[in-house]
């Protein structure tokens, strides 16, 4: 028997595979698919498999626990942990062939010490801070630091990278960061220390700054078919992977002057048909004016205060219980996409998708 739900998310895996193949083709370089935060709420294991099928050479995560899950599910491609790791995690990373970020003297000493105990080198990518102000050494320190790592022993430097702060915009910092990183790369090259994998470009830079591509691009948004900027469509051919649906719980006629929702924030001005949808801010929507849903191929306004588990919508006529409601996606000739909600809520698209609660089941579409 097929299980049904009041609300659910559909993830189109062939779309992710196609998006990855297109990124590789259009950038002419290797791809690291970024799947941190459970692939921004899409499901890290499933998205990773689809990305690898599309040609991704690497996967990127924020924490070692995320890499562990991928390894436990049989994913064997190289994985880079972009953030901090604990001493115990270094031991596990060694055992599971996960690459770590080397970003200061303390991580150098930690990795060298754990490698000595394990009698196996720690695979690392050196992080260079070119203007993000988070992890990393300064560009002018790269050669000296790489030599320190060599001298310490137990560290195999397989890559080096940096991260752009404002790649989505025309900003002078972009060129400055690129110059700083290029300085470090050339210094490493001149010293015979350049590693095989040099990477700088995120989603925006991969498309807008071809000089930042180097050996590989790190892409998250576009892998999932999300826009780089909410106000600028992706090039033709990229497909959004996420659709969010629900079933209509109720549709009934309320008299004029009837309050709807907490705080009586909405009161019917005359007889109105009000629908109830089992989706609320506990699922990941935000309490912002201007929310809409799609029913019958038409966009309808959410009225009243958004509840934890439900929302109310003004309808032109009665719809039966179980009628399909689209929160994100296309229905008929109408559409509401992640970028529409991100623009409404004034947040990033991955801010929205990452915070869609896990109580909303993910259904994976494996055939186009």
* Catalytic residue flag (residue 127): no
User: What pLDDT sits at residue 328?
Assistant: 98
The count of domains in the chain is: 2
Cα angle value 171/135/102 (rounded, 5°):
130
What CATH number has the domain bearing residue 246? 2.40.37.10
Please answer whether residues 19 and 225 qualify as being in contact, where contact means their C-beta atoms are separated by less than 8 angstroms.
Answer: yes
Residues 318 and 212 in one domain: no
Residues 179 and 274 in one domain: no
Residues 165 and 307 in one domain: no
Residues 41 and 155 in one domain: yes
* Whole-number average pLDDT of the chain: 97
Name the pTM for this structure: 0.96
Torsion (CA) 141, 143, 148, 150 in degrees, nearest 10: 150
Instruction: For residue 1, name the pLDDT band (cuts at 50, 70, 90).
Output: low
pLDDT at 186 over 90: yes
pLDDT at 152 over 80: yes
* All residues at 6 or more sequence positions from 58 whose CB lies less than 8 Å from its CB, including other chains: 30, 31, 32, 33, 77, 78, 79, 80, 197, 216
147 occurs within a structural domain = yes
**Catalytic residue from among 36, 161, 214, 238:** 36
- Residue scoring higher pLDDT (2 or 205): 205
352 occurs within a structural domain = no
Rounded distance between C-alpha atoms, residue 263 and residue 284, angstroms: 21
- Average pLDDT of the residues in 56-82: 98
Residues 220 and 255 in one domain: no
Residues 211 and 313 in one domain: no
SS3 helix, strand, coil % of the chain, rounded to 5? Answer: 35, 25, 40
Q: Domain span at residue 273?
A: 242-336
The separation between the first and the last C-alpha atoms of the chain, rounded to the nearest angstrom, is 23
- Average pLDDT of the residues in 234-240: 95
* Catalytic residue flag (residue 245): no
| Structural domain ending residue among the three candidates 197, 224, 251 | 224
What CATH number has the domain bearing residue 120? 3.20.20.10
86 occurs within a structural domain = yes
Three-state secondary structure call for residue 151: helix
Residues 74 and 171 in one domain: yes
Question: pLDDT over 70 for what percent of the chain?
Answer: 99
**Catalytic residue from among 5, 40, 262, 266:** 262
**DSSP state, 171?**
-
């Amino acid at each position: 028997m097929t299980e049904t739900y009041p609300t659910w998310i559909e993830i189109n895996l062939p779309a992710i595979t196609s998006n990855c193949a297109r990124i590789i083709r259009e950038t002419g370089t290797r791809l690291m698919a970024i799947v941190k935060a459970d692939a921004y709420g899409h499901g890290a294991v499933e998205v990773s498999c689809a990305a690898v099928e599309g040609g991704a050479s690497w996967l990127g995560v924020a924490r070692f626990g995320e890499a562990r899950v991928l390894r436990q599910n049989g994913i064997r491609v190289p994985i880079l942990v972009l953030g901090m790791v604990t001493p115990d995690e270094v031991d596990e990373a060694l055992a599971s062939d996960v690459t770590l970020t080397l970003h200061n003297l303390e991580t150098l000493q930690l990795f060298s010490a754990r490698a000595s105990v394990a009698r196996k080198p720690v695979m690392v990518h050196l992080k260079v801070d070119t203007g993000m102000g988070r992890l990393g050494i300064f560009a002018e320190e790269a050669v000296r630091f790489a030599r320190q790592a060599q001298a310490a022993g137990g560290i195999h430097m397989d890559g080096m990278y940096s991260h752009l702060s404002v790649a989505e915009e025309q900003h002078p910092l972009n060129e400055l960061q690129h110059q700083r990183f290029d300085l470090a790369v050339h210094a490493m090259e001149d010293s015979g220390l350049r590693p095989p994998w040099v990477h700088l470009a995120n989603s925006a830079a991969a498309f807008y700054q071809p000089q930042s591509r180097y050996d590989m691009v790190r892409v998250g948004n576009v892998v999932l078919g999300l826009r780089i900027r909410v106000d600028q469509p992706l090039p033709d051919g990229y497909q959004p992977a996420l659709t969010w649906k629900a079933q209509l719980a109720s549709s009934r006629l309320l008299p004029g002057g009837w309050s709807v929702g907490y705080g009586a924030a909405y009161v019917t001005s005359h007889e109105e048909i009000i629908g109830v949808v089992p989706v609320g801010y506990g699922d990941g929507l935000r309490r912002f004016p201007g929310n809409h849903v799609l029913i019958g191929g038409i966009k309808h306004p959410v009225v009243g205060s958004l509840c934890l588990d439900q929302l109310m919508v003004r309808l032109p006529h009665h719809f039966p219980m179980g009628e399909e409601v689209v929160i994100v996606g296309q229905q008929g000739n109408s559409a509401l996409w992640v970028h529409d909600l991100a623009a409404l809520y004034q947040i990033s698209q991955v801010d929205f998708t990452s915070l869609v609660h896990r109580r909303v089941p993910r259904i994976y579409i494996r055939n186009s």
